């Protein structure tokens, strides 16, 4: 089951960007522009794993909305343009799990979302792309229901690509996240793992090489 996110943001441009990002990496979401409308809808539907709340909202501000969200045990990440320490601390003391300050980049938000979901035990760790399924609970990978054996680094690269499905990940990101060190001059090892993943899982078309950037696991 996909993780379901409550997104409350009144700026349409930002809400569109975040929503689109959530959609393409495989999250389900419900979005609201008005704090009160979001609070009201929670009464009927509160099956969310995480809430992304703006603070300056019409109808009801993010601080007040937090109370309604916490009532259902949903962890909260604030997205705010208020950079002053006071509102950060207030947000965290009120029970927000984390916050990001605008302008933020999507990678930062996704990493924080994943950490909060993991910490609260809500992270869905089964990822799918096409007929490939990665079960991160058991560290197993299936292709059309058939188990496929992967080397640890191959598994790490596939997991990272799955987590950022439909987004381009750079070789540097892969090196630092999977290999665990900053790239020191040789990125061929990444290319080697990618080609063995393509071969073993039949992902030749799905894993796209993005010129000058890196790779993208496509599933749309």
Q: Which residues of the shown chain bind other proteins in the complex (CB under 8 A)?
A: 10-14, 16-18, 20-21, 24, 33-34, 56, 58, 81-83, 101-107, 166-168, 208, 210, 213, 216, 218, 220
Euclidean distance between CA atoms 179 and 111, whole angstroms: 17
158: nearest Cα among 123, 190, 114, 117: 190
Comparison of 105 and 149: residue with beta carbon closer to other proteins? 105
Comparison of 118 and 210: residue with beta carbon closer to other proteins? 210
Least spacing, CB of residue 107 vs other proteins, in Å: 8
Cα first-last separation, the chain? 18
Least spacing, CB of residue 50 vs other proteins, in Å: 18
Least spacing, CB of residue 106 vs other proteins, in Å: 5
Structure tokens at 142: 């299936």
Comparison of 16 and 191: residue with beta carbon closer to other proteins? 16
User: How many CB atoms within 10 Å of residue 194?
Assistant: 22
Helix (H) / strand (E) element for 31: namely strand 28-32
Comparison of 10 and 28: residue with beta carbon closer to other proteins? 10
71: nearest Cα among 95, 98, 36: 95
Least spacing, CB of residue 20 vs other proteins, in Å: 6
């Amino acid at each position: 089951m996909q993780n379901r996110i409550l997104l409350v943001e009144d700026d349409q441009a930002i809400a569109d960007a975040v929503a689109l990002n959530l959609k393409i990496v495989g999250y389900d979401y419900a979005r609201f522009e008005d704090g009160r409308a979001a609070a009201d809808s929670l009464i009927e539907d509160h099956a969310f794993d995480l809430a992304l709340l703006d603070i300056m909202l019409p109808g009801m501000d993010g601080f007040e909305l937090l109370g309604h969200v916490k009532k259902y045990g949903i962890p909260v990440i604030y997205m705010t343009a208020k950079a002053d320490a006071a509102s950060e601390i207030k947000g965290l003391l009120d029970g927000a799990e984390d916050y990001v300050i605008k302008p933020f980049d999507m990678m930062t938000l996704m990493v924080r979302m994943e950490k909060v979901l993991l910490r609260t035990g809500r992270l869905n760790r089964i990822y799918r792309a096409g007929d490939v399924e990665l079960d991160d609970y058991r560290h197993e990978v299936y292709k059309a229901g058939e188990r496929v054996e992967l080397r640890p680094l191959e598994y790490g690269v596939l997991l990272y690509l799955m987590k950022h499905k439909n987004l381009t990940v750079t070789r540097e990101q892969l090196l630092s996240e999977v290999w665990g060190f900053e790239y020191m001059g040789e990125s061929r090892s990444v290319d080697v793992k990618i080609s063995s993943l393509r071969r073993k899982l039949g992902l030749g078309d799905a894993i796209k090489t993005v010129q000058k950037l890196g790779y993208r696991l496509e599933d749309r």
